[in-house]
Amino acid sequence: MNMDDVFEKARVAMNAAAQKTEEVVAVSKLKLEAVKVNNEIKGMYEKLGREVYRAKDQKPHEDVVHSLCEEIDELRAKLEALDREMAELKKVVSCPSCGQKNPKENYYCMKCGAQLKETTGFDAEVAGEEAQQETAEND
């Protein structure tokens, strides 16, 4: 093995690690955002409950109840979008050499052909699933 190969392998490995870190950071950010939105929704439910409770003694403020419900709908839509974004991030793997997003099951980049899965244990979960499927088929 010549030194260029060694450096190339090291470079690709470092890029892959950096990409993985970026992905983890992005997912953590989305998770944090989702927690925030969830708390906002909780707060809205509380306000809504208080407003409904008022109806015991006096007429409920229909417009307040209505606008609270609308805000909750908006927040829930936001939460769904965050969930979708997280699912997308978990489904793709970025190419270490060109940055192209590839489906996680790909072994090689569909844009530049670089190897996507060099580190062992990186996708142990997926590999385990595939093994199970094979066993099922052979049954």
List the structure tokens of 121: 């244990």
Look up residue 59 and give its DSSP letter: -
Q: Which is nearer to Zn ion, 12 or 114 (CB)?
A: 114
Least Å distance, CB 113 to Zn ion, is 7
Least Å distance, CB 98 to Zn ion, is 3
Cα(14)–Cα(83) distance, integer angstroms: 29
Residues that bind Zn ion (CB under 5 A): 95, 98, 100, 109, 111-112, 114
Least Å distance, CB 96 to Zn ion, is 8
Look up residue 98 and give its DSSP letter: T
The tokens 């990409």 sit on which residue? 19
Q: Which is nearer to Zn ion, 86 or 102 (CB)?
A: 102
